Amino acid sequence: MHRVYLDNNATTPVLPEILAAMQPYFGERFGNASSIHHHGQEARAAVERARQSVAMFLGCATSEIVFTSGGTEADNLAIFGVVQPGDHVISSQIEHHAVLNSCRQLEGSDCEVTYVPVGGQGRVDPDDIRRALRPSTRLITIMMANNETGVLQPLEEIGRIAAEAGVCFHADAVQAAGKVPIDVRRIGCHLLSISGHKMHAPQGVGALYVKKGTGLRPMVHGGRHERARRAGTENVPGIVALGRAAELSRQALTRGENERMAALRDRLEQTILSQIEGTNLNGSAAPRVPNTSSIAFDCIEGEALVIALDLKGLAVSTGAACSSGAIEPSHVLTAMGLSAEQARGSLRFSLGKQNTGDDVDFALSLVPPTVARLRELSPVYNRTAPSPRLSRRM
């Protein structure tokens, strides 16, 4: 069966160049990067080369990169590494659960958290952050790009607010890395998370940028790996892959490959919006990463549409992969003012570097007839009078 994968915000396939770069570190170059003999030094050199690549990718010094097991650990290290009992934290209602549930955990240990809202386009208003500041505010943690809508947040403005207030600023850039340029100095953040498997490296590796001078308590205790910021023998093949992914992403950004992806994504979403009545693009007027479309389909159960499309070979998603199977509508879309039904009827299409125009054609051959068939079965869909455009808070 022909299969097309348009769920790259959940995870991306490992690119052949990246697999080739990491493969020797499973075999002949198997050393422990802490060993002083040849094998160890070979592994250490590879880890440090990868650190250099990731540092160049983010615009920082190599000493400011801490390798982790992924985005979730990087987010946790950023948050629990700086916040202490009695502190106040500012976050938003649309963060990934790696941040949201860390904040909930803090609330159980004598910390207070303000979750700023978003407008109808899914953007945080920096003034809401400014207003939420308190003398006890220790950390602002706001994502760079949302995983469900792809909407980019005004991080540079938030960075300026954090600097004026002398507050630590963490950015979860897991869904932005490889899709838009990232420059930690321009953003003005102290901490920034990325994850390998969202940028065509494997699952289980990530990194946290930690600005020089930022006091960070380690979460994992053990040896003095990663300058005593993250204990544990390094995942050398994973780190090598992340380094290669950072190099390829940097090249792709300078070669304009992301414009190619934006053109494919725009054709996909424009055709769906024009061919299918009762559809709306979530975050349509906001700046977005070039690979993501979140589309609300009136009178459609998103899970049913995902399953129907999967049976025909197209992989898409209703939103965050970790909430699949959950009955709760997306907290991101409801925070943007969508009703529970509109949120449940929303599908996320997310492209990767491997996708082609043929993949978009395949998706476009399946989505309109599948939506039409599901609507025919829907007791609430009135085919003679399509329901009005979704109205939402701006």
Contact 162, 168 (CB under 8 A): yes
Residue nearest to ligand PLP (CB): 71
**DSSP E strand boundaries for 47-127:** 65-68, 88-92, 112-116
Q: Is residue 103 flagged as an active site residue?
A: no
What tokens does 142 get? 């706001």
Whether the CA torsion 388, 390, 391, 394 is positive or negative: it is negative
Residue 33 is a binding residue for ligand PLP (CB under 6 A) = no
Stretch that binds ligand PLP, among 65-73, 155-163, 254-262, 330-338 (CB under 6 A): 65-73
Q: Which is nearer to ligand PLP, 280 or 317 (CB)?
A: 317
Residue 143 is a binding residue for ligand PLP (CB under 6 A) = yes
Residue 321 carries which DSSP code?
Answer: G
Residues 165-184 that bind ligand PLP (CB under 6 A): 172, 174-175
Residue 195 is a binding residue for ligand PLP (CB under 6 A) = yes
Q: Which is nearer to ligand PLP, 206 or 337 (CB)?
A: 206
**Identity at 379, one-letter amino acid code:** P
Stretch that binds ligand PLP, among 71-79, 80-88, 258-266, 308-316 (CB under 6 A): 71-79
We find the least distance from the C-beta atom of residue 291 to ligand PLP, in angstroms, to be 13
N- to C-terminal Cα separation, the chain: 42
Q: Which is nearer to ligand PLP, 12 or 147 (CB)?
A: 147
Region for residue 216 given its phi and psi (left: phi exceeds 0; alpha: psi -120 to 50; beta: otherwise): beta
What tokens does 76 get? 């946790």
What tokens does 386 get? 């399509």
CA dist., res. 241 & res. 239, Å (int):
5
Site string for ligand PLP, 72-101 (x = CB under 6 A): x--x--------------------x-x---
Q: What is the 3-state secondary structure (H, E, C) of 76-90?
A: HHHHHHHCCCCCEEE
Residue 206 is a binding residue for ligand PLP (CB under 6 A) = yes
Stretch that binds ligand PLP, among 29-37, 67-75, 230-238, 267-275 (CB under 6 A): 67-75
Tell which residue, 87, 85, 66, 84, has the closest CA to residue 75. 66
What tokens does 174 get? 């897991």
Q: Which is nearer to ligand PLP, 42 or 172 (CB)?
A: 172
What tokens does 67 get? 């390798």
We find the least distance from the C-beta atom of residue 37 to ligand PLP, in angstroms, to be 32
Catalytic residues: 322
Binding site for ligand PLP (CB under 6 A): 70-72, 75, 96, 98, 143, 147, 172, 174-175, 195, 197, 206
